[in-house]
Copies of this chain bind each other. A is one copy, B any other.
Amino acid sequence: MSAEVYRTTRPGLLGAANVGETVQVAGWIQTRRDHGGIVFVDLRDSTGILQVVLDPEAASAPAAVLSGLRREYVISVTGAVAARGPEQVNPDLATGEIELVATELRVLSPSDPLPFQLDGRVDVDEALRLEYRYLDLRRPAMAANLQARSNAIRAMRRVLDGRGFLEVETPTLVASTPEGARDVLVPSRLRPGRFYALPQSPQLFKQLLMISGVDRYYQIARCYRDEDFRADRQIEFTQLDLEGAFWGQDEVLEVLEEVAVAVTRDLRGLELARPFPRLTWQEAMDRFGTDKPDIRFGMEIQDLSALFAATGFKAFAEVLAGGGTVRGINAGAQGLSRAGLDGLVERALALGAKGLVWMVVEEDGSLRSPVAKFLSDDEQAALGAALRVSPGDLLLVVADRFQVVAKVLGALRLDMGQPEGHDEIAFVMVTDFPMFEVGEDGSLTSMHHPFTSPEDVTEMAESPGTAASLAYDVVLNGAELGSGSVRIHNPEVQAKVFEVLGITEEDASRRFGWFMDALRYGTPPHAGFAYGIDRMVSILQDQPNIREVIPFPKTQTGADPLTGSPSRVEKEQLGELGIEIAPAVLAIWAEEESPT
């Protein structure tokens, strides 16, 4: 059987230089217009769009075929490239100076009428877009996102290959990992009743690679986290995972910068200045109220505690006496009505504050505020100086525990100040994270993960609540792109961290014994990081969420409207796996299936 030829060139590759050539092209019909029997088709493929002129007299296709052509039909056309008349030139089209005068037409595939238009002029419901993702991806913006993602990953590889990193594939059917309860479990058929887990990250395997003598490792790694799909998360996601032996924080951050610069250059045509700004975790919390600061704008938080040290305003005085803090931001001229200001107070209460003090700077420099009367003239003047006020400015002040103040002012700062769009690209490195998070009940959990090195082992043991770690994040425009740390390479330090975390020796041995053993055979100091690729590409592509840059994402409930997954499976398959559907779930099924 002789193979068919569908094309000799591509629509978007043709131009004035090709006039007079006979070519064959194939693609999708973007639009068709009928002018007295002659059909004009805009033919599209991934290279671009070409106007094709189909005259039933010349195109060896009967008029009936021509008039039957519809949008998104796939056709192959042979013809001569012709210059358009000056009046017909379309300056909006790269191929606007020419057209293809068809001598032969073949319809390769027809198309049913589309469930939605592809021209982006009408907003389409996301569920419908996902159900017909293969059509959604035909839209230029989505095709550009696919291309950008591929380009981003290529830029990452270019940097790391150039630095001699080894790409290593770590397993994805692993033992249940320690990074949280949300492992995705996979029943084993060969060992019924036992389970693999899908990795939340290749953390321990990449540390094993360091122990194996791999000097620099990276992987574009699929990771899994079975959490509630609040916010902008997916059950599976992709990370650029990397690690290096005999490495410290500075070496990691340097590579991370280089990767970020390369990706930003390839996706935005922008040359970022280096080094990136660096903040310690404490600085970030103090100045921006968050460990993922958006530094595209100022409106920084100011500590006003000293200023109100001797205040007569009871709400402030009590907080300060109790070890709390008074801080504020100058939100600039917001021109809010009284209702708008009340809205801010409500927002602050919802964020956990006991109250929010707002003040508006009048033309004469005096403060308009329900609490102005409680503040002395000196305090008002000092406040104005600390927050560098101008007439019209809105000042927001919160008095509470540090954590509450930071949370509330950090959120209000974003509400009031976040710039529209994403024209600016502002990376920032946040370092010196606390080792542990302290729960309401005083319990400790790892801020990053339990394999993070403390800055000082003695400090960690003696005051774990405030001890710093060698962990760092990269933040872009207020979003965390990823975390990393210098790891623990000493098994005694590792055991100490488990102890501080309240993990018993027996428990540690059961869960991580194999890893603790590995540390005993000559472990080099090592450090690493993982960049979230979905997030990075979505921000650089100005997309509202990560689903726009994932070829086939799932909905917030983890479902795929296209394929219907997850779905029910045959009872026999479950039998082989040594598992059964729980009676409670069967009851729900029965209800679903009973006729109403």
Which A residues contact B (CB, under 8 angstroms)?
1, 3-7, 26, 28, 44-47, 72-74, 76, 108-112, 114, 132-135, 137-138, 143, 146-147, 149-150, 153-154, 157, 161, 166-176, 181, 183-198, 204-205, 208-209, 211-215, 222, 224, 226, 228-229, 235-236, 238, 245-246, 248-250, 455-456, 470, 489-490, 514, 518-525, 550-554, 557-560, 562-569, 573-575, 577-582, 584-586, 588-589
Q: Enumerate chain B residues within 8 angstroms of A172, measured Cβ to Cβ.
A: 172, 222, 236
> Is B193's CB under 8 angstroms from A585's CB?
yes
Q: How far is the CA of A229 from the CA of B586 in the complex (A)?
A: 33
> Is B190's CB under 8 angstroms from A187's CB?
no
Q: Enumerate chain B residues within 8 angstroms of A586, measured Cβ to Cβ.
A: 193
Q: Enumerate chain B residues within 8 angstroms of A137, measured Cβ to Cβ.
A: 209, 212-214
Q: Which chain B residue lies CB-closest to A578?
A: B585
> Is A187's CB under 8 angstroms from B185's CB?
yes
Q: Enumerate chain B residues within 8 angstroms of A190, measured Cβ to Cβ.
A: 226, 228-229, 557-558
> Is B3's CB under 8 angstroms from A248's CB?
yes
* 8 Å CB contact of A579 from B28, B564, B582: B582
Closest 8 interchain pairs by CB? Answer: A137-B212, A111-B522, A193-B585, A175-B565, A578-B585, A175-B563, A194-B566, A188-B566
Q: Enumerate chain B residues within 8 angstroms of A6, measured Cβ to Cβ.
A: 246, 248, 524-525
Can you list 7 A-B contacts with CB-CB less than 8 angstroms, sorted by A residue number? A47-B215, A74-B523, A109-B522, A134-B521, A170-B552, A191-B557, A195-B569
| A26-B197 contact, Cβ under 8 Å, with A1-B455, A514-B564 | no
Q: Enumerate chain B residues within 8 angstroms of A114, measured Cβ to Cβ.
A: 521
Q: How far is the CA of A143 from the CA of B523 in the complex (A)?
A: 17
> Is B214's CB under 8 angstroms from A514's CB?
no
| A580-B580 contact, Cβ under 8 Å, with A114-B521, A250-B3, A522-B109 | yes
The smallest beta-carbon distance between A104 and chain B, in angstroms, is 16
| A249-B212 contact, Cβ under 8 Å, with A146-B168, A173-B236, A191-B557 | no
The smallest beta-carbon distance between A219 and chain B, in angstroms, is 10
Q: Enumerate chain B residues within 8 angstroms of A183, measured Cβ to Cβ.
A: 573
Q: How far is the CA of A72 from the CA of B211 in the complex (A)?
A: 10
The smallest beta-carbon distance between A298 and chain B, in angstroms, is 30
The smallest beta-carbon distance between A517 and chain B, in angstroms, is 9
Q: Enumerate chain B residues within 8 angstroms of A565, measured Cβ to Cβ.
A: 173-176, 196-197
Q: Is the interface of A mostly helix, strand, loop or mixed?
A: loop
Q: Enumerate chain B residues within 8 angstroms of A135, measured Cβ to Cβ.
A: 212, 521
Q: How far is the CA of A189 from the CA of B197 in the complex (A)?
A: 13
> Is B562's CB under 8 angstroms from A28's CB?
no
Most buried by B among A1, A108, A455, A522: A522
> Is A134's CB under 8 angstroms from B211's CB?
yes
New A-B contacts (17) at CB < 8 Å, excluding given A108-B525, A137-B214: A72-B521, A111-B521, A134-B208, A134-B212, A134-B521, A143-B212, A146-B166, A150-B167, A170-B552, A172-B172, A173-B224, A175-B563, A183-B573, A190-B557, A192-B588, A193-B585, A574-B579
Q: How far is the CA of A585 from the CA of B575 in the complex (A)?
A: 10
> Is A108's CB under 8 angstroms from B489's CB?
yes
Q: How far is the CA of A567 from the CA of B157 in the complex (A)?
A: 35
> Is B581's CB under 8 angstroms from A578's CB?
yes
The smallest beta-carbon distance between A569 and chain B, in angstroms, is 5
| A568-B195 contact, Cβ under 8 Å, with A26-B246, A169-B238 | yes
Q: How far is the CA of A40 from the CA of B579 in the complex (A)?
A: 59
> Is B213's CB under 8 angstroms from A522's CB?
no
Q: How far is the CA of A523 from the CA of B143 in the complex (A)?
A: 17
Q: How far is the CA of A524 from the CA of B235 in the complex (A)?
A: 31
Q: Enumerate chain B residues within 8 angstroms of A584, measured Cβ to Cβ.
A: 578
> Is A582's CB under 8 angstroms from B573's CB?
no
The smallest beta-carbon distance between A578 and chain B, in angstroms, is 4
Q: How far is the CA of A525 from the CA of B4 in the complex (A)?
A: 10
> Is A109's CB under 8 angstroms from B524's CB?
yes
Q: Enumerate chain B residues within 8 angstroms of A28, measured Cβ to Cβ.
A: 213, 522
The smallest beta-carbon distance between A480 and chain B, in angstroms, is 21
